[in-house]
Every structure is written in structure tokens, then in C-alpha cells.
Structure 1
Amino acid sequence: MLNSTNYTVWAMRMKIALKVHKVWDIIETDSADPADGEKNNMAIALLFQSIPETLILQVGELDTAKKVWADIKARHVGAERVKEARLQTLMSEFDLLKMKDTEKIDDFAGKLSEISFKSAALGVNIEESKLVKKFLKSLPRKKYIHIVASLEIVLDLNTTGFEDIIGRLKAYEERIFEEEEETQEDQSKLMYANMDTQTNQIQYGFQW
């Protein structure tokens, strides 16, 4: 159900739903062909099922699904000036985004994907190569410098897919995690060995 904060996700879901019911073309073309009247009614019915009653009362007099869709979009996306402001905010968020040392690859990739989806909903697609380069540039340098350098050498970042990069880095992340676990285990064994040695020395000294 559409609300005041979820328009971007709602529009994505509705677009797919309208395509599944084979009526999305009515939204795009606003056909005047009487034969398309059934499609138009189906599209309006689907839209009305996913918006609150107060909004239905406001758009209920519109006679085509395209007009209903455009009216809903205008109310939630706003005028072109507001749209540009939102895009600027998104791009600033995109430029400033950095992965934290404690953050997982999946979590950070999700943040970038979310910005990309929101930008696309406002009419601007972020190129996949830009996502890839931003992703690699934003990784914690100390932890990922070796894998990033390797990927930059062996791959063409202008043609490598975003999901491909995520998969490679997740594999590297798992390897790091395994090595850290092994290191911690070794340190624990060493600590216990030192404790045993100290205990023996104390006991030996006491007996002496």
C-alpha cells in the first residue's frame, strides 16, 4: 500500500504488477483505442487496490490509468525542481558513502544498490561501471587493498558487472574471516600454553 514515504518501492512493485497483468503499455501510451478500454480499467483497478482511500477520492475522476499514474507520481515525486533536489541529495550521499571496518560486503553493496534504485526511479540511471568503481574505492583500504589492487589489474572495470565484483569480494571476505579465526585460535593456544608454563614454574618453585 502506498504511503507518504515508500513511493519509490511502490512504483517499482506496481510497474511489475501491471506488466504481469499485461496492462503496463496503457500507462506508457494512454491509448484512445476503444479496444483498450478493458486494459485501462484493469490498470486503474490495480492502482486503486494499492493506494489509500483518501487518494482514491482525489484521483477517482480521472478517466485513464496513465493520468492516475501521473497524478500519483506528481504528488509524491513533486515538481521538476524538487526532483532535481532529491537527485542532488542522492548523488551527495553516493559520493560520501564509505564502508565501515566492521561492515559486511553484502550490507554495503545493499546501500549502493538502494541509492541506484532511488536514482533510477527519479529518471537517472547510475552506470554499472560507476557503481563498480565506487564500490572498490569505498572499501576499507587496510583490509582490502590487496584484493582491490589485484582486481584493478586483472579486470576491465568498465565492463565488469556489479554482482561479479560483489561475489569476488564476498569470497575474499570469507577467506579473511577464516584467517582471523585461525589467528585467534592460535593466540588462545599460546595463551593457555604460557599459563601452563607459569603454573608449572610456580608449582616447581613452591616444591623447591
Structure 2
Amino acid sequence: MHQCVDSINFEKICSTNSKKEAWDILHKAYGGADKVKEVKLQYLRRQYELLFMNDQESIVDYFDQIQALVNSMKSCNEKFTDQKIVDKVLRTLAPRFDHIVVAIEEFKDLETMKVEELHNSLEAHE
């Protein structure tokens, strides 16, 4: 196992006597510990809450940011529904999309709308 890790990780596990001991050290160091996941999740939640679309930002870029955050939070066992993400997007779009948001809210069923459907609709209007 020592031959499969880089020099930085080798320093962490070089004094271990078993593969299990080495694995446990690497597992704790790279997010396996529950406490580490919880701290990371709190940080990601804060980023998610503060995320708003910039005036110069494109729909594609904004959705990429949201999806990256959601994927990171899911890896820490956070639960997400499409409706939660759709609501977030509609609340945080740049003001230039206000008229589109009103039309989407009025004519679409937000309870069943998928993130991809919203993304396509906004991208078409952009």
C-alpha cells in the first residue's frame, strides 16, 4: 500500500503496521470522519444560502455553480429535491430575469418542475 500513495500521504502512514491502520488514517484525513463532513457541510450550506446570480453571469455558469454546490452537499449526505433547487434558482436570479420568473411561476407547475426543465427554459429566454 505504501507504494501506491504520494510522498505527502506516505508520511502520514509510514509508521503504520497494517493496511487497516493506514486506511483508517487516510480515511480520516480525507473526509471520512463524521465531524469533518459536518463542518464541510456547514460551510457548503452557507455558500449555498449566500449564492446569488451576478448581473453579468450567464444561466449556464449560474447553474454550474449551483450544481457543484449541490453535488458537494450531497456527498456529505445532504438531501435535495428538485423543488428546493428550483425555488433557490428562481429566488436568486439576476433582476434582468424578473419578467421570466413571473411567467414561469404563473404558467408552470413548480411542484413538479425538474431542474433541467427550468435550466432549459431560462437558457432559451436568455
In the superposition, the TM-score normalised over structure 1's length comes to 0.51
Structure 2 gaps, min length 5: none
Correspondence 1:8-23 to 2 at 5 A: none
Compute the RMSD of aligned alpha carbons.
Answer: 2.4
The structure whose Rg is larger is: 1
Q: 1:73 to 1:149 in 2, by over 3 A?
A: farther
Q: Using the alignment, how far apart are the partners of 2:61 and 2:7 within structure 1?
A: 36
SS in 1 for 2:19: coil
Superposed structure 1 runs of 4+ greater than 4 Å apart:
none
Is 1:89 aligned with 2:46? Answer: no
Map Cα deviations across residues 142-164 of structure 1 (whole Å, 9 max, x no partner). x1111111111222222211111
Residue 176 of structure 1 corresponds to none
Residue 74 of structure 2 corresponds to 120
Q: Is the 8 Å Cα contact of residues 27 and 33 (structure 2) preserved in structure 1?
A: no
Q: 1:71 to 1:137 in 2, by over 3 A?
A: same
Instruction: Read off the aligned partner of 1:160 and give its amino acid letter.
Output: M
How many residues align? The count is 120
Is 1:154 aligned with 2:99? Answer: no
Task: Give the share of equivalent positions with the same residue, in percent.
Answer: 26
Greater share of residues in helix: 1
Instruction: Read off the aligned partner of 2:115 and give its amino acid letter.
Output: F
The match for 1:137 among 84, 91, 108 is 91
* TM-aligned CA deviation for residue 121 of structure 1: 1.3
Is 1:164 aligned with 2:117? Answer: yes
Structure 1 gaps, min length 5: 1-43, 174-208
